[in-house]
Amino acid sequence: MTTPVHRLRKHPGAECEVTVTARCMDGGCTWEAEPEPADRAVGCEWHAAATGHRTFAVCLEYIAVVTGEG
Ligand SMILES: [Zn+2]
């Protein structure tokens, strides 16, 4: 197996911020956060404070770019 020449990286553009989506993993709870920029994603804290639920599935989404030869 050869080392890939191409690499997937987070896009360096300043406009490409990380978006956080989260949903509650506590029992049958169906709470889900709106997608928000990572620095403002406080939905989980509010939900935990209101319900006592502590476990969340968190998904980070960002723009990536492949760099390399060719
Ligand atoms: Zn919950």
Q: Report whether pLDDT(33) > 80.
A: yes
pLDDT at residue 70 in the model: 64
Q: Output the pTM of the full model.
A: 0.70
Q: How far apart are CA 5 and CA 51, in angstroms?
A: 48
pLDDT at residue 38 in the model: 84
Question: Is residue 26 classed exposed, middle or buried when 0-12, 13-18 and 19+ CB atoms within 10 A define those classes?
Answer: middle
Domain ranges within the chain, ordered by starting residue: 7-67
pLDDT tens digits for range 5-29: 899 888 887 677 889 999 999 999 9
Distance 32 CA to ligand 1 centre (A): 8
pLDDT at residue 14 in the model: 63
Res. 68 pLDDT band, cuts 50 70 90: confident
Distance 61 CA to ligand 1 centre (A): 22
Distance 2 CA to ligand 1 centre (A): 45
Question: Is residue 36 classed exposed, middle or buried when 0-12, 13-18 and 19+ CB atoms within 10 A define those classes?
Answer: middle
